[in-house]
Structure 1
Amino acid sequence: MRSVGVIIVGILLLAVVSVGCTSNAPKKEATIIVFHAGSLSVPFQQLESEFSSYAEKNLGLRVVFQDEASGSVKAVRKVTDLGKKADVVAVADYTLIPQMLVPDYTDFYVLFATNEIVIAFTNKSKYAGEMKAHPERWYEILARSDVSFGFSDPNQDPCGYRALMVMKLADLYYGKPIFETLVENNTNIESSGTHIYVPKEVQVRDRRIVIRPKETDLTGLVESGSLDYFFIYKSVAEQHNLSYVTLPDEINLRDFSRAEYYAQVEVTLGSTGRRIRAKPIVYGVTVLKNAPHRELAMEFLKFLLGNEGRRIFKENHQDFLNPPVAFGNVPEEIRSLVRIENTTRG
């Protein structure tokens, strides 16, 4: 009987050791390739970190993200022009997806977040005190010969062409030639009435004007005092603890009730030849048809569109659509998380 007991104890010990070895076994590694707008860098960094923890705990996977931030137009053109592989594409202007990715590269997309354009600065910026005290003078302050300001490249980044739209809408709102003073006199960007033309190669004629590939490239310049002001999304200004001036709803591209008013202004981009009409700012996301890791990418999209994503965006000062709105051949995996509309928007 003693020998039987020893055998049983041995079997139990072996089972415990086996379980321990299994739980400590290296997890399978998986990759997700994400191309996203620069303005999504902060919330996506947190989103990817939390999804990695979720996947390790619930899916038994160690997820590695290949994350590339850029201007949204550039992000899309990586796929369409350069043939680069990606799983998820998230852009600051959702219309880029139906215009440039549907139907060849994807057959659905989701509208998920909103934003507005502000003018950001720090206490190092020239006339910062006056800007805070009299924000309605923003265009007068930017026009001063000793003040520098910037925006992102309209050919690569929606924040850039939205900055142009804001300044052209300001012409209408204030009844003054603000676009001519700030843009046309200092660059080779031109306008005719409310139509803006952006050359394929944007040239700056005045050193006070700074243009970079994406809006977040300008953040460090303002923080260091090298640049006084820049046009940026409110969420990015909040994330970086920058001071900022909010603009009237008639020009800030935030107010959905003013969509028709915004639509008076449009931009033609030299990089794509496409004409873009001003509209309220809405972000879009999709998983590509030929996504190398499509099944896992769909899990990540579910995470983004669910309660976790909503919380993360709120923590990072960006408004989230409730619920997100989906178009096209919406995958079954996300149907419970979105409102599906049949008419494609572009």
Structure 2
Amino acid sequence: MSGAYAVRTGAAADFSALLDFTLELEKQTVAVSAEIRQVEGTFYLRLIKLPTELLGALLPADRSVVPEITRYLNVWYSFKADSLNKYIPGFEIDRSAAGLDPAKQAKIKELVAKANLYHIQSVTRNELIGEVDVYRYLADLLTENLLALVREMAVVLDNRTFTAAEESQLRTVLAQAAKAKVQLWVGKDDHLLRRSHVSLDDVSAGASLLSTEINLEFTDFNQARIGAPEGALSLEAVIDEAISRQQRLTRDSRRITDLRQIQLALELFADSHRGQYPADIYSVTPCGRAAACGLASVDACGGKLCLAAVPTDPLDRTYAYAPHTTRRTIDAYHLGASLEDSGN
């Protein structure tokens, strides 16, 4: 990670950061790179590198996903943090809005501030990262102290103590976390974190044991003037268009399914009525029209094979097939051809 920042009086600092992540698997390397800026309260995001081949392999083979993904690379998108809240599921928003009362918040902050969760040991005091003098430290998680903190927080948040089963589960998780070896390299003069290395050996994952290494490097923390990129697209508009496009695809798929059901019900009705099609679609629903319930019997089209109800449009819930529900003579195949017409 590298970047720059600019301090503004009475406001949050502007910043620009380049994030570059590389995940090395057994047979391939997965790379993700992005740049993010904040300028006067607006965020700007640019995706530089994505594992397109891996993403393509995870999605259905009949979709050409790689071109779809790459079209979003190296394009700046702008957004306000609050503008993305509408994409959070309702229950998450409700939970976030509920929050904690000020007294509980203050108590939680007090508990965290007093907790001694790590043992940090100085290892070397004469290393270099580039041209920067750094100190190297080892950090060990104090699991019993963290367990005590979680117990105290549970009392504050839920007014209850841990059950034996909950404490056992938490101990299992902490035992895995305690296996981590954490090394930190901190600048001698500016006290900025320059590098971190986390290694986990023999971590249980089901029936397997995994070993993982995570390296993070932070470089070029310079104070500079941060400018907003020109021509940035609204991320909110891009997301809305993608959602709308998916909704249209879902609607079209639903309409095709509805069409097949209508055709089947009409044909079954005709089979049961000497080749005569019903006067309208309502006649192949169990209750017929709302004003004339019983117009069609349950067995009019073969019992359970009737339409449960006249289908409505998946997007706006209107009767998408209204032009075809009042015709006195309905032919299933003419109806199908009409519904499949892109103009309808």
TM-score, with length taken from structure 2: 0.19
Greater RCO (Cα-Cα under 8 Å, separation 6 or more): 1
| Structure-1-length-normalised TM-score | 0.19
Which of these two proteins has the greater Rg computed from alpha carbons?
A: 2
